Amino acid sequence: MRHGLLKPTPILLAALTLLALTACMRPQASPGELLIKSLRSFHNDLIFMRYDQASAHVPQSQRRDFITYYQDQEEPLNIMEYEIVRLEVTPDEHYAEAEVELVWYQLPSTKVQRTRMLERWEFNADLSTWVVVEQQPKAEAQERSTALSGPGGNSPGGSSPGASGANRAF
């Protein structure tokens, strides 16, 4: 009686091939899952001042302006942390609005500030990527909404990261 490896049979080879293929197959991430990854990646890149990497989440036509905005600050904008406060996605998962609270400071001031930003995101199905198409302080978004809808809105004041040019449509 010989000890050793079994001689491969067609059935054994087919079973091993099927096992290998199913192990390599991974379900495609849903647009919702990709959005969460994109939001985290974008904001983490901003915290660590990796503007080139963060710009991957901005429409191609606006990337240069995005990078220039952050790199040309007289004093660097130091974003310390963020929290995704609210996230709404359309039923077709092609558009989303995120409310993100940023904790930041900008030298020479060492005063730590908090600003709620509203971000509009769009999904590019061809590339399976989300891009942030607009980012603005929540108070300014509310002011614009009140101006369009008439009196009666209440919008709190406050500072925003990089106060000059804080309304950014990328």
| Domains of the chain and any CATH numbers | 31-149 (3.10.450.50)
Neighbours of 146 (CB within 10 A): 14
139 in Cβ contact with 156 (< 8 Å): yes
The confidence score (pLDDT) of residue 1 equals: 52
* Nearest-angstrom CA–CA distance, 77 and 168: 15
Each residue's pLDDT, cut to its tens digit, for the chain (170 residues) gives 555 566 667 776 666 676 666 555 555 778 889 999 999 999 999 999 999 999 999 999 999 999 999 888 888 889 999 999 999 999 999 999 999 999 999 988 889 999 999 999 999 988 889 999 999 998 776 555 544 444 443 333 344 554 444 445 43
Neighbours of 61 (CB within 10 A): 8
Q: Which of 132, 130, 122 is nearest to 168 (CA)?
A: 132
The confidence score (pLDDT) of residue 125 equals: 87
* Nearest-angstrom CA–CA distance, 28 and 101: 30
The confidence score (pLDDT) of residue 144 equals: 54
The confidence score (pLDDT) of residue 55 equals: 96
Q: Which of 104, 128, 99 is nearest to 46 (CA)?
A: 104
Q: Which of 43, 50, 146, 41 is nearest to 101 (CA)?
A: 43
Find all residues with CB under 8 Å of 81, minimum gap 6, and list them.
Answer: 47, 102, 103
101 in Cβ contact with 118 (< 8 Å): no
